[in-house]
Structures are given as structure tokens and as C-alpha cells.
């Protein structure tokens, strides 16, 4: 038996960074233009408009020059004023983490949390908002990636809007892989990144801001200006005749255009369907192999990433390292509270294709069997996946 | 259930063209230099020397500017004079086809053939050469790709040399994927192409010619000169201070350099081992799924391509089309006499990695089950492959 | 003063290979598909049709898998039968060279030659054809690159057709850079290559064959079949449901598609105009610098390459080497009879832009001054070029 | 006369973003790996070490995931505590701008300014520091790009250190194009970006921090933590076994490695020499054409960018647009106070080659002549440049 030749991964089936689509990789290698070259100014406006089309929203989303962590911090800094009361909805590590940013900018952050393998209940959110009219802003992580679980973002958005509050949504690892848009969930700030389901390398974010969102930001005396944390600086930067606050990442913008062309060309519904199919096939295989989801139930499991509960007595790091070393397949660990408890498999962008479910099951099962001989029947897993795939 | 999104293949598991290594693809996009630019002249000599290192031969191989079909025709035209008697050893479609080219250049081509799922026997070659002292040239296709079978080329080379005849070897789809070199088989002309196990796109050939080979070619009054079919024209073209007969394919030479760097960097033995492991795992899976090899026995099955006997009642074209359409996996058909009788799976270059055996089994089995419900148990196949992979 | 850093050329201003358009380079790095992948079969037909559009001809041109030298040899081999009488029109080294190929396939090649800095006269061709009714085929090199001179191909085509003879045209380095097409010159075989004015790397040819051309080839018992020299083998290969004679150069086909998209997208007339402007500016600069054209008069100088008469006492190789070493600019030497007598500058594809005329003048003049101090006034040359460019 | 074909720039001779080296563009298109893939962890450490080698410093520089504006803001936020007194040295728009960031983090920013076409005098800095022992931090922009002028950073560093103060240096557009390193100028924080003289696209920064710098940052209670503005978060992130604060820009890191390989391979002194030669040739040409530098004297003109004083009565935007539209050459405008007063030409990375000086002079002069007929003699400019180039 031999190891995967060389040191390079053969399949990157992580929850991000994921491998990029070939057309995106080629676009990254286009000649680099001056940001004020008329051709690049036109390009930036065109890409911004394509992002609006992909996000199915009228308002042109901002393209920020850093991966979504920048966008999340900038959104907190821009939206939240010091006297605001924020309700942070938490169903996982990323949701909880956002509370820390929120807490920097205001005195009171209320947290409404559920277990990290659970989803928030719109009715409970509704009750909380009724009880606390002082809450001005509600924050939610749609897909808490370290848990692989989805919250009912559209329903919660309905509740938030019924109460007339502002709604900030982290859709970083869900947008592009399922039916969620700024308008579907009525978000005032909707944050995503091209480095997940759109199949770009990490280094940009997309932020859609509603009219109400802009009003609040502009009224916030503490909203950053002349800062990389400023949303305001970028409000009009997408227009070809407006200046950039600072130099955009020219090569990555070219890559983003290729990704948006691919997404719109293939058809979002088609793209979502292959994310869903891949994840369903993978989950069926998991179950058949006797492994279980971290998510409390399948109905809240994300189509873009699956978190597997690490079996009793298995060292997750060792398990993951074996898959990488022996089969050349890279998976993601958990994060924070889920670290060591879950192993995660991405179904995002170019890897959201049914056969990658088979690849993942094989490498996972094979590595587990190397670790603890004979625990799982890979073939049974593959057959179960194939029964879904057809 | 949904089809593979878009029209693009997801996995190209064919017997060539195969997908290229990423480093090769990037090298193809280097700036195109003038062929007489001193930097390109140096590059061409350097690449030629690396090809010699990869082929483990002293004499610098020719790099011809066309895929191996050009090299095979040019070799026949250059080596074979009109009064020569040629022995063409045939164990498949490609071996037989070479006889047609040989027959253009001499009056007498004797054919020694075996069934197209069999291999030639060195003892029989020995007997033939003893009986026919008039035979001057022996021709052999090492790996007859349409059959997925190997001939014992080193042993036959021994026999040919013991009789003092010239030996022409087609190693197009074997070199780079197993332990065969011009010297190991004592070839006077050894033809291969970078578009198989070296993981380049098709468009170049490599031809190693022995001293005896050059002597014969130079003594051949009919050997082409000033022609794309000439080997002589290229004899000294690899030297940085010699002219090219015509313009070399600059971009492809850049790609070839990346491929040779990869091959030599990883280590040929390491590369061969992963070809072998992938093919063994795949064959084990096939058997477990109740499918059978075209090759009469496993000992002559190639580690770089597997020809599967198409089950009774199955339309190979339909089967293959389903794998492509439904799973995005492309396989090769048979050729000539094996067309319709075999389906072929490549294990070449970048696809010579064990997990591709699993991908291939899944797509093959899945497509067969769609065609004729319930015929094969994919999981059993995967388990058998995994038992080999470890 | 310092040399060009590194060993790489900074500007490749040769007569081919020229540098490729960036979009072509990126296309070369696309994933390599199996030639019988349905997506590639569709691609090959689509590219063939785009080539027909670019060549403004109804009949779909053949895409041959080798640079134009292959196409020229194949055309001679396919068209010329042993009893044919061929008239080879010669105004330079390439024209003369074609006579050697022609002479292999028929007993009688008549040559009508002019000095290698001159162009053929349609009236003289007319007289020759009237005198020699036995001539069946007339061959012409439109742009004899080693001389940088153009022949009046459309007018000569008129004459040839009035006499009812077949017309074979080498338009390798003219097509794509000026107004010449198979139909404009009434060619029965029209040969060009994407590696000149279309801005691709060398490795493919385009061959348009008229109905009369195909009739003649099919009637020729000696026309190669099952050979890389065969045109017939490729007649129907462009159709998505027909097989290839052998494996096409997949990556180069992708590059060709990008080149054709660029050419058709920019608009042929627009492309020709920038070739013409660049060459005119360059010639004006040359004259102003006291250098002279090789061409007997400017009216026959090609817009795609300029051959400069090497001044008395200057060693062309040294001059050219200095330009490369000191300024990083690569030019072409002469060939055959023009070797040492001319230095050549290409204006092809991506380098057919007016400012490259300035770059070329500067490097040429600078190198000459280093060789023979104070001979030329570069500034005067640049001003003259700028007077043309505007 | 015709415009540059298409909309694409032919030459990007700006002060950044500049075009990237071809090897960098190819590296951007490498497969995207998971940031915790062992191969990428090793890559990130390796690239960080190469950056240290390029910067000739022992301490491993931070690679921040945003263009240098991020690094400058983060450095101000991290280093400057609320009770600090900062001396901001100003000789141009960028230097002045840094004062705004500094002022956010402390109560007192003293500014020592000179005219924006002048350089700071170390003796004056010395006097200021003697007078103001309360100053703890001195900030300097080495090359104030909007002015194209250099400050004597090594000498000022000497002074600052003699007084025992901390020294923050913005070397964004100077490092890599001339002899300046963190150690040569004794910087405590030294900020640069790969998107200028290293020839990468914009999206990363390099920040070298001295031991004293880290001590100060760690003692600063207000230094950002868990923020994109934090330097501390990245202190140990370069180590392969330490986590990243957030996802690095994988593709850009690959590009940076190629750029560092190129820089170290060519040899920094060699690279600096071609920057210097290109700028000197360009300035000589300018003078000869009757144009003048913005810089008060040539000795403070940067070798990486030249700011040209816009002639009386010329509209800079119109002039620049003409060069772009008519010749396909893109230049930079001024910024802030220099906007409209200067046009700027970059000599950075791949464009720091002498012949680009000629290209720039031609396009500048040509455009000026189109705007105001007959103002400048381009040829005289080119001759003067060539006299420098040799």
C-alpha cells in the first residue's frame, strides 16, 4: 500500500476554502489592470451588477476587499451604535462569535441560544422581541458552519420585520448553495463570500444592504469612515465614475466575474439542486455506514456542509490526517466547541457534485477503518449514496 | 435525481487524452517565445535532456511536433527500406495497424499474431526469427491500448537482439506508467507520447533511437528528408545551436518540461507504483462486481488502462454515454475489433491515484444499473478496491 | 548600463512564433478533455465553424494538427498527382521551397521566378498559362515572409481561374493581418496558420479546400490516406459525429477558439487596420533613420512583417543578438537567400499595435548604434513613426 | 489614424496596481487549497520565510490579507496608544493621510511637514525630537507616491533611534525597487505591499515588526485583538503549526511566492538597478522634451515612480485619457493636493525595464501633441532616454 503521491491534496472536500472552478482559476491569471483604468472601472461596475443579479436583489451589493470575516466585523462596526440593544441569535460557534463583535459597539447584547446541534425557533424569537421592544437589531448566522446546521432564516426574517427591527444575516456558507437571498429573508445586511458556494478563492466578501440598513448606518455617528471597516466608504464605489476607497483586489474581481458568470449561466436552481443532492447522498451513506450527523435531525442539516459526529473513542485529528495522508482527501475539523467532536465535509461550488459524496464516504470510511479496524462498511455507505444519486 | 450540471466532464478517466497535471496546464500558458530566441533554444535542449533522464537513456530522444501517430508513421517511413523484411508482432488493434504503415515501405511484412486478449510469447518470436533469417526488423506494440494488454517487451527485446535484428517498440501508453525504457527493452526505436502517463495534452511525441537505429535510417535511401515524416531532420535539433527543421510547438514544449519535472521530482518508481495500485484496486473492484477483464488473465493486464469485457446484452455506447451524462465521468470505448466489446478505463498520469479507481467503479456500476437494473453491487466493488488500496 | 534582467525576452517582435494573446494563453490552460468527450466533439465542430467565419468561406476549413509546414507538405502530397504539370510562382525563399515539395509528387514543375525583393506580375502569369496549357496547378506564396513582400494574390487568382487551373495559396503569414481570404483569391487550397496573425502558439494549421480542390484530391490515386500527410482523412472530421483520424491537439484547439473569438469580436477590418498602421509607422521610422526596406518598393511591403536591408558592413546576427541581449527585444533573421541580408520585424496579432513600431525602432536603432556608433538617429525614426500613428 | 483596438490597455505604466509578472499570474491559477491543508500550512511558513529573506530581516514579516491600506490602518491601531505623542513627518499626500489614522488613536499628533515636492531633512527631525521628548513614535512615508519623491529614510531612522523613539515606515511603493529594508532604516514597523515593485496584484501586505515594536504593541491596551485591524493576531500565524486568525488569501499567497522567487532569483541589486535605470532614462527623456519633474530636484525623485508637473494650460485628465485611448497606455493621476498638477508614470516590477521608459515618453509626448499640437519633440525625448540606457 502506498500513500498519496506527493504532498498535494487530491480532493479538497472542506467547508472552505474550497477548490475554485477552473474558469475562476483562469480568470485569476488575467493581466492585472490599474484600478482606474476605464476598462477596470467598467469591469467593477459590471461585476457588481452581476452580483446583484446572483443575489436577486435590486440594491447593488458591496464587494469588500477581504474574506467574510472582514465583512462581518465591518457590518457590526457600521450598523451597531453604542446605545443599540442587539439580539444575537446563537445556534453555533459562528453565531456566538458574532456576539463578541456586536458587544464591542454597544452596551447590551442579548443572546438567545440553542444547543449547537439545534436550530432557532421563530416562535421563540417572536416572543423575545415582544418582550424586549428595546431590541433594535437582530443578528443571525444562517448556516453555522462548525455545526453544519441551518436556521429558518426566512421565517425568522418575517418575525423580525413584523416587529420592525433591523436584521443582520451571515449567509457566508449558505448563499449560492441553496435558496436564500437578501430579499427572501428580508435582511438589512446580508453578508456572504465568493469563497464558499461560488467557488472562488478566499479574499472578497459580498454585502447587500437594504435602504433601512443604509439609513441606520448613516445615522450611526460611530460607523467607521476612511477605514477598512467602513461599509459607507464603499456605498457608491461600484459606479464606474466613482472612486474606490482603496485599491480593490483586481485579480480576485476577475475571478469573481467568472464565478458569477458560471452561477448565472448554469442557473441558480440547478446549482442548488446539485448541492442538495450531493449532501443528501452523503448523509444517506453516512447513516448506512453507522455514522451519525452532528445535527439533531436531518431537516436542519445544511446542503453545503455536513458535520459528522465523531464516534466515541476516535481522535478526530488523527482520523482527518489519515484521510489526507493516505487518500489525499482533505476534510475540515470542527471549530471551538465542536472541535474534536465533529468532522466536516463540504459540498460547495465545484465539489457539490454527487460523485464527491462517494469520494468523501470512501476516504472517511477507509481512514476510520485504518484507525479502528473493521468499524465501517464503506461499500454499504456507497450503495446508500448511490440509491439517492440514482 | 439530476444530471451532471453543465456539459463539462467532471472526471476524465479515459485512456487518453487524459486530463493534464495542473502544473502542466499552467506551463502551457507561459508567454510564447520565438523558437530561435536564445532562451527557447536553451529550453528545448534542456527539455530534451530531461526527456533523456526520464527515459533513462544516454541518447537524447527526439521531440516530434505531433502526437504519437506522427511518430509511428515517421518511424516506419524512416527505418523501413523497400527491400526489408519486417516481422510485425500483433496482439491487438494498434499492433495490427502498424503493419499497414510498415507495408507501405517494404514488400514483405510477416505478421505473428495472437488473439487480441492475449500476449505474445518470446519463445514463439524466437522460433520465428530462427526460421526467417531474412527478417531485419521486428515491431511490437508494448501496451495495445484497445485491449488493455501488455506484451513482455523486455523479454522479446532480448530475443530480437540475440538474433541481431532491429527492434521498433510502440510504448506510447506504457512509458511513464510502468518500468519500461528504451534500454530495458533494447529498442532501436522507442516511441512514446507525453499525452498518456506523463499527463500532457496530445500534440508531441518522444522518440529514442539507438545507434544501430540511426545507422539503419541513414543507410535507407527512402528515409524521408525535409518532411514532417523525417526522423533524420530532427537528429541534432535538440542542440541549442542547431536549427529546427520547422517550428516546434512552443507552448507544448513548456508543458512537457513541467511534466518531466513532475515525473522526475516525484520519482519514476513512485509514479509507477501508483499506476499499479490504482489498476489493481480497479480490477479487484471489477471482479467483485461480477464484471470481467478483456485480458485473458490478470498477469497481462496493463497498469495504465483496464479494458472491461462488455457484459452480454449491454450496449457499450449507451453504457458509456450514461456514465458521462449521469455522473460526469468519461471513459473510452474500444477500437476496431474491440469496439463494442470493451469499455476502457485509464489510470494514467494525474488519474493514476487509488481513489479514481473508486470513482470509476461507482460510475461504471451506477450506469450499468441504470441500464439494466440491479445487475451489479457497487458497494461490493468499492470494498474490494479498498481492500487493495488499504 | 545594464542588460535586460534575466534571460527572458521582454518583447517578441518576430515574424513567428509571436507571443500569443493573453486570452489564448488562458485558454491553453483549460482542463484537457478526451477527444471523444461529447463536449469536445461539439467544441471541435464549433471551432471549425468559427474558422470558416473568420476565413469568410462557406466550406469548413480543415484544422490540421501541426504547424503550417505540415499543411503545405500535406497539400502538395494530396493535390499533386504524378502526371500533373505544376507552375510554381516564386518571389522568395518560401515560394521556392514549395517547389521542392511539388517536385516530389510530379514530374514537371515549371518555376516562374522574380527577384526575391520583387513581386509577381499577373500579366506574366497570364502569358505563362497561355503558353502552357499543360499546366494544371498554380502555386503561390502570398506573403513570402523571408522577404517581407506580398504578391497580388487576388489578381493572380483571377488569372488562374480564367484559365481554369487549380490554385494553391500559402497565406500562412498574411491571413488575419490583411484583406485576404480563400474566396478573395479564388484558391482551391488556401493554407494558413493560427500562429501568425491570429496570435496562437505554433502547432495547428487551417486549410480551406474548394469543391474543385476536393474533386482533384479525390481523383488523385497518390493522395495520402491514413497518414499525417492526408487532407482527405480530415475532410469530415469537423463534424461532431464523425471520428478523428488521430487525436487532435486538444489544448491548442481551445487556444484557437479564443483567438477566433478575439478576431471576430474585434472585427477583421479593425484587426487589419492595426496591422497596416503598425507596419506603415515602422517603415516611416526606418526610412527616417536612414535604413531601407528589402522590398523593391513600399507598395509590395507586407503589413505583417517588415524585412530591413542590413546596412553595408553590419553583421546581422550580431545586430540582432545585441537587440535581444541589451534591450530584451527579439527580432527574426532572414532565411536562406535572405539570411544575413535582412533583419525582420513582425507586426502580427498581439504585436500589431502602433506602439510596438516605436519599440522596434528603438531597439533596432539602439543596437545598431552600439555596433557602429552614431549611425542612426533613433529619435528621428520615432518622430516619423509618430507622424504616421498620429 | 485609429484607436487602440478593443478596450484593453496595452501597457499599464501606472504607480500601482501594476501588471503582474507572468510567473505570478500563473501561480494565481494554482489549485486552491484548504488553509489548514498541511501542504498549505507549510507553504505559508515557507512564503513568510522567503519574505523575510527578501526583506533581509531576521524577524518573520506578517503577511496581512489586504492591500497596504489595511496594513497602515492596522499598524496605527496596533502601535499607537491613547496617551502617545506621535510625530508625523509629511512630505506628501500619503504622509499627511497617515496623520488622520494616527489621530484616531492618540490625543496628540505633531506634524512636521515640507512642501509636497520636497523631502524631509534629518537635521530638522533631530531638532524636533530634541525639543519634544514627549514624542514616542515617529511616522514616515518613505516614498510619497503622489509626489514621486523619496525621503532619506535611513538617515531619519538613525536620528529616531538615536533619540530612542519608535519608528513606523510606510515603504509600500519603495521596497523591492531600491535599497531599503526594515533594518537599513531601523524601522519598528515597516509596511510594504507585493502589489508594487514585487509585481503582484493588490490584496496583500507585508509588515515587519521589530522586537521593540512588538513590546509596544503588546503593552498597548487598545491594540486591536480579534479584528482585521490586529497585528497581534498574526504574530505567530506564519508558523505551520499555529492557526490563522482568519482565512488567508490562498491564491494571492501562491502569487506572492512566485514573486519572491523571482525577486530573490534575479537578485535584489539587479532588480533595483533596472528600476533606477528605467527611471533615469525616463527623467532624461522628460527633460529633453521640455517637461519637468514635480520633485524639487532630481536627487529626491523616486526610481519607482516619476511625477511629471503638468504643463500650464493642460488638463491632466484629458491628457491621460488620450494616452490611454489613443495609444493604449495607462498612466496614474495625482492624488489629493497633487491631483491635476502631476501625471505619474510607474517603473515598478515588470515595467521597470528601460524600454518602457521609451514607451512612456512616446505615449506621453504623443498625447500632449494631440492635445496641444507641436508642443514636444518626442524623438528628442527618446534620444535622451537612449543616451542613458546605452
Same domain, D161 and D303: no
Beta-ladder partners of B112: B89
Beta-ladder partners of C346: C305
Same domain, A279 and A249: no
Same domain, C252 and C276: no
d(CA A330, CA A316) in angstroms, rounded, equals: 13
B contacts of A269 (beta carbons < 8 Å): none
What is the mean pLDDT of the segment spanning A258-286?
A: 98
Q: Percent of chain C having pLDDT more than 90?
A: 97
User: Per the annotation, where are the binding residues of A for substrate?
Assistant: 344
Give C337's DSSP letter: G
Phi, psi for C114 (deg, rounded to 5): -125, 170
Beta-ladder partners of B109: B86
C contacts of A29 (beta carbons < 8 Å): 26, 29
Question: DSSP characters for C272-305?
Answer: HHHHHHHHHHHHHHHHHTT-EESSSSGGGB-SSE
d(CA C296, CA C308) in angstroms, rounded, equals: 11
What is the mean pLDDT of the segment spanning A110-129?
A: 98
Work out the minimum CA distance from D135 to partner chain B, whole angstroms.
52
Residue D3 pLDDT: 36
Chain D residue nearest residue A64, CA to CA: D66
The answer on whether C344 is annotated among ligand-binding residues is yes
Same domain, D283 and D180: no
Angle (CA) C64-C68-C70 rounded to 5° is: 65
Chain C residue nearest residue D379, CA to CA: C379
Residue B6 pLDDT: 57
A contacts of D195 (beta carbons < 8 Å): 247
Q: Is B132 exposed, middle or buried (0-12, 13-18, 19+ CB in 10 A)?
A: middle
Which residues of chain D have a pLDDT value below 70? Answer: 1-6, 374
* Chosen domain end from B215, B246, B265: B265
Question: DSSP characters for B137-200?
Answer: EEEEESEETTTTEE--HHHHHHHHHHTT-EEEEE-TTTBTTBS--TTTTT-SEEEE-TTSTT--
> How many Cβ pairs closer than 8 A exist between chain A and B?
102
Phi, psi for D224 (deg, rounded to 5): -60, 145
Cell numbers that stand for A135 in this block:
431590541
Chain C residues at the D interface, defined by Cβ less than 8 Å, are 1-2, 4-6, 10-11, 29, 266, 270-271, 273-274, 277, 326-329, 353-355, 358-359, 362-363, 365-366, 369-370, 377-383, 386, 389-390
Chain B residues at the D interface, defined by Cβ less than 8 Å, are 22, 26-27, 29-31
Any domain includes C5: no
- CB nearest to B37's CB, from C227, C251, C330: C330
Residue C6 pLDDT: 57
What is the mean pLDDT of the segment spanning A59-86?
A: 98
D contacts of A70 (beta carbons < 8 Å): 66, 228, 246
- CB nearest to A379's CB, from B6, B326, B383: B383
A contacts of D34 (beta carbons < 8 Å): 9, 12, 14, 16-18, 330, 332
Residue D375 pLDDT: 80
- Asked whether the beta carbons of B193 and B213 are under 8 A apart, the reply is no
B329/A277 Cβ within 8 A: no
Any domain includes B376: yes
What is the mean pLDDT of the segment spanning A265-274?
A: 97
D contacts of C23 (beta carbons < 8 Å): none
Work out the minimum CA distance from B24 to partner chain C, whole angstroms.
8
d(CA B387, CA B381) in angstroms, rounded, equals: 10
CATH number of the CATH domain containing C339: 3.90.1150.10
Work out the minimum CA distance from A381 to partner chain B, whole angstroms.
7
Chain A residue nearest residue D328, CA to CA: A37
Same domain, B199 and B92: yes
> Which chains have 3+ CB pairs within 8 A of D?
A, B, C
* Chosen domain end from D265, D293, D325: D265
Beta-ladder partners of A95: none
pLDDT class for A372, splitting at 50, 70, 90?
confident
C contacts of B33 (beta carbons < 8 Å): 8-9, 12, 17, 19, 330
Q: Is D288 exposed, middle or buried (0-12, 13-18, 19+ CB in 10 A)?
A: buried
Which residues of chain C have a pLDDT value below 50? Answer: 1-5
Same domain, A197 and A310: no
Give D59's DSSP letter: S
B35/C17 Cβ within 8 A: yes
Q: What is the pTM of this model?
A: 0.97
Any domain includes D6: no
Any domain includes B3: no
CATH number of the CATH domain containing D235: 3.40.640.10
Question: DSSP characters for C31-65?
Answer: PPPPTTSHHHHHHHHHHHHHHHHHHT-SSPPEEES
- CB nearest to A31's CB, from C22, C27, C31: C22
Give B336's DSSP letter: G
- CB nearest to A247's CB, from D12, D20, D202: D202
User: Hey, of C19, C26, C33, which one would you mutate to test binding to chain A, going by the most A CBs within 10 A of its CB?
Assistant: C26
Which residues of chain B have a pLDDT value below 50? Answer: 1-5
Phi, psi for A178 (deg, rounded to 5): -160, 175
pLDDT tens-place string over residues D201-221: 999 999 999 999 999 999 999
Cell numbers that stand for C289 in this block:
533613420
Residue A4 pLDDT: 37
Closest CA to B188 of B164, B216, B207, B168: B168
Give the domain range for residue C279.
Answer: 11-19+268-389
> Which chains have 3+ CB pairs within 8 A of A?
B, C, D
Q: How many CA atoms lie within 13 A of D361 on its CB side?
A: 37
- Asked whether the beta carbons of B11 and B367 are under 8 A apart, the reply is no
B contacts of A11 (beta carbons < 8 Å): 355
* Chosen domain end from B265, B295, B310: B265
D381/C383 Cβ within 8 A: no
Chain B residue nearest residue D27, CA to CA: B26
Q: Are strands C329-330 and C205-209 parallel, antiparallel or unpaired?
A: unpaired
Any domain includes A311: yes
pLDDT tens-place string over residues A66-76: 999 999 999 99
Work out the minimum CA distance from B184 to partner chain A, whole angstroms.
25
Q: What is the domain count for chain B?
A: 2
Cell numbers that stand for A113 in this block:
441560544
Work out the minimum CA distance from C295 to partner chain B, whole angstroms.
23
Q: Residue D384: in which H helix or E strand, if any?
A: helix D378-389
Same domain, C161 and C293: no
pLDDT tens-place string over residues C243-260: 999 999 999 999 999 999
User: Hey, of A25, A26, A39, which one would you mutate to test binding to chain C, going by the most C CBs within 10 A of its CB?
Assistant: A26
Any domain includes A144: yes
User: Per the annotation, where are the binding residues of A?
Assistant: 344
Closest CA to C364 of C315, C313, C330: C330
Any domain includes D3: no
pLDDT class for A7, splitting at 50, 70, 90?
confident
Same domain, C93 and C230: yes
Same domain, B176 and B238: yes
Same domain, A196 and A292: no
Work out the minimum CA distance from D25 to partner chain B, whole angstroms.
9
d(CA C37, CA B6) in angstroms, rounded, equals: 13
Same domain, C86 and C210: yes
Same domain, A236 and A291: no
Work out the minimum CA distance from D26 to partner chain B, whole angstroms.
6
User: Hey, of D383, D384, D385, D389, which one would you mutate to test binding to chain C, going by the most C CBs within 10 A of its CB?
Assistant: D383
Q: Which residues of C357-386 are buried (b: 16+ CB within 10 A; e: fewer)?
A: bbbbbbbbbbbbbbbeeebbbbbbbbbbbb
- CB nearest to B382's CB, from A266, A328, A379: A379
C contacts of B16 (beta carbons < 8 Å): 34, 247
Chain D residue nearest residue A333, CA to CA: D36
Closest CA to A348 of A149, A143, A176: A176
User: Per the annotation, where are the binding residues of D for substrate?
Assistant: 344
Any domain includes B168: yes
d(CA C157, CA C147) in angstroms, rounded, equals: 21
> How many Cβ pairs closer than 8 A exist between chain C and D?
103
User: Hey, of B3, B34, B65, B345, which one would you mutate to test binding to chain C, going by the most C CBs within 10 A of its CB?
Assistant: B34
Work out the minimum CA distance from D25 to partner chain A, whole angstroms.
4
Amino acid at each position: 500500500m502506498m500513500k498519496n503521491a506527493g504532498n498535494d491534496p487530491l480532493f479538497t472536500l472542506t467547508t472552505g476554502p474550497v477548490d475554485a472552478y477552473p474558469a475562476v482559476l483562469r480568470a485569476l491569471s488575467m493581466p492585472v489592470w490599474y484600478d482606474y483604468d476605464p476598462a477596470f472601472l467598467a469591469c467593477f461596475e459590471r461585476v457588481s451588477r452581476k452580483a446583484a443579479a446572483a443575489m436577486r436583489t435590486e440594491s447593488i451589493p458591496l464587494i469588500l476587499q477581504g474574506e467574510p470575516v472582514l465583512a462581518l466585523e465591518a457590518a457590526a462596526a457600521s450598523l451597531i451604535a453604542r446605545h443599540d440593544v442587539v439580539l444575537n441569535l446563537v445556534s453555533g460557534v459562528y453565531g456566538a462569535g458574532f456576539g463578541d463583535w456586536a458587544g464591542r459597539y454597544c452596551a447590551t447584547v442579548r443572546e438567545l441560544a440553542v444547543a449547537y446541534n439545534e436550530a432557532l425557533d421563530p416562535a421563540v424569537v417572536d416572543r423575545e422581541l415582544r418582550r424586549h421592544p428595546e431590541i433594535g437589531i437582530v443578528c443571525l448566522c444562517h448556516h453555522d458552519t462548525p455545526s453544519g446546521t441551518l436556521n429558518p432564516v426566512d421565517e425568522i426574517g418575517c418575525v423580525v420585520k413584523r416587529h420592525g427591527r433591523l436584521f443582520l444575516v451571515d449567509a457566508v456558507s449558505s448563499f449560492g448553495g441553496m435558496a436564500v437571498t437578501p430579499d427572501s429573508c428580508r435582511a438589512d445586511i446580508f453578508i456572504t463570500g465568493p469563497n464558499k458556494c461560488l467557488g472562488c478563492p478566499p479574499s472578497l466578501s459580498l454585502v447587500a444592504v437594504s435602504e433601512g440598513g443604509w439609513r441606520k448606518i448613516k445615522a450611526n455617528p460611530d460607523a467607521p469612515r476612511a477605514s477598512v471597516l467602513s461599509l459607507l466608504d464603499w456605498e457608491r464605489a461600484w459606479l464606474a465614475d466613482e472612486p474606490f476607497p482603496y485599491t480593490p483586489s483586481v485579480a480576485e474581481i476577475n475571478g469573481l466575474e467568472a464565478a458569477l458568470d458560471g452561477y448565472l449561466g448554469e442557473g441558480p436552481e440547478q446549482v442548488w439542486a446539485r448541492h442538495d443532492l450531493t449532501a443528501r447522498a452523503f448523509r444517506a451513506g453516512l447513516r448506512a455506514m453507522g455514522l451519525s450527523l452532528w445535527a439533531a435531525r436531518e431537516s436542519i442539516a445544511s446542503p453545503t456542509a455536513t458535520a459528522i459526529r465523531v464516534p466515541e473513542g476516535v481522535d478526530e485529528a488523527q482520523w482527518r490526517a489519515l484521510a489526507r495522508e493516505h487518500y489525499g482527501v482533505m476534510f475540515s475539523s470542527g471549530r471551538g466547541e465542536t472541535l474534536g467532536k465533529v468532522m466536516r465535509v463540504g459540498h460547495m461550488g465545484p465539489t457539490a457534485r454527487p460523485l464527491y459524496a462517494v469520494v468523501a464516504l470512501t476516504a472517511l470510511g477507509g481512514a476510520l477503518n485504518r484507525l479502528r479496524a473493521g468499524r465501517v462498511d464503506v461499500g454499504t455507505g456507497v450503495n446508500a449514496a448511490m440509491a439517492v444519486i440514482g
